[in-house]
Homo-oligomer: A and B are copies of this chain.
Amino acid sequence: MMKISDLGEFSLIDRIRRKAFRSGDVLVGIGDDAAVLKVRGQSKRLLWTVDHVVEGIHFEKGEDWKRVGRKALARSLSDIAAMGGVPKHALVSLGLPRGMAVKKIDLFYEGFLKLAREFKVSLVGGDVTHSPKDFFSSVAVLGEVSRDRCILRKGARRRDALFVTGSLGGSLLGKHLRFRPRLREGAWLACEGIAAAMIDVSDGFLSDLGHILEESHVGASLDLRKIPISQAARIMAGRDGKTPLRHALEDGEDYELLFSSREKDFSWMKAFKKKFGIPVTCVGHVIHQPLKIFAHDEKNNTFEIKAKGFRHF
């Protein structure tokens, strides 16, 4: 008997993708950060995504419920950011253990609604059900984006430069609950015509880079000396013996934007840093060989590495 753990999350999604019915108004279906839907007579596209937060998986028991509620929404907003879009509406469905304290739910919504107000997202409905054991939430978000500003995973071409916002690794130490979805940054990169392909780093840098490469049928050459390693990655490395670089490349839940750009003039980087107050780093470029990732280290050795990151199964 083949189990989910043998097949893996991404093969599972592929299986489903092959079987799904798609009508003509579905511009992008399964396989990007969000679905892209056409609305008759509109130049704006609808973006639609959903993300889970499960107790014991996405947060530990005993966590501050305000942060859990915030994260439940922030994860979906990050998907909209990766398309260059603007979030508009949210639906929340909750699975609640029977004895759960109402106070916790109030705090969950307090965190959720605070972030929703910040980005002008309307909570328009949802569903509440009993969960036999652990708390879970599932947040669907509708957003919009201009037809010519929607950035997909499949837009990367040979010789594009590869960029990542912020710094990477060690998100588990706290960032995964506090991160600010890169909505303003994503919309700006799309509007200015800078990003050609984009994804949010949720599974891990290498794994998410792998998604871009797969959808674009290209490969990547990475300069490992350029990878922006976070302070948290260094702290984690001090504890578990992995290198800080490995944490930066493989840890999940950074929710930074990873994108390719055909812009030859890099002067936009200065404007970006000034406007948003966060780093943006060129970490390599796109190459022709599909799905290959070559890396150069501090000793100028070149070697092939495998896309790797957080796997759910």
* A interface residues, Cβ below 8 angstroms from B: 1-7, 9, 12-13, 15-16, 19-23, 25-26, 28-32, 34-35, 37, 39-42, 44, 46, 48-52, 54-58, 88-89, 91, 93, 95-103, 105-106, 109, 113, 116-117, 120-134, 136, 138, 140, 142, 312-313
Contact = CB atoms under 8 A, between A and B. Distances in A.
A26 B49 CA distance: 18
Contact of A125 (B6, B48, B58): B48
A34 to B, nearest CB: 7
A42 to B, nearest CB: 7
Given A124-B37, A132-B134, A98 B29 contact: no
Contacts of A48: 89, 91, 124-125, 140, 142
A22 B122 contact: yes
B125 A34 contact: yes
B123 A12 contact: no
Given A21-B116, A122-B23, A124-B30, A1 B88 contact: no
A269 to B, nearest CB: 32
A313 B96 CA distance: 9
Given A5-B98, A41-B41, 8 more contacts: A4-B96, A5-B99, A21-B121, A22-B122, A23-B122, A25-B88, A29-B125, A37-B124
Contact of A124 (B26, B56, B116): B26
Instruction: In the A-B complex, list the 9 residue pairs whose CB atoms are closest, starting with the nearest.
Output: A35-B124, A138-B138, A20-B123, A140-B140, A35-B125, A133-B133, A52-B129, A2-B102, A29-B124
Contacts of A30: 123-126
B50 A95 contact: no
Contacts of A55: 132
A63 to B, nearest CB: 15
A285 B88 CA distance: 39
A97 B313 CA distance: 9
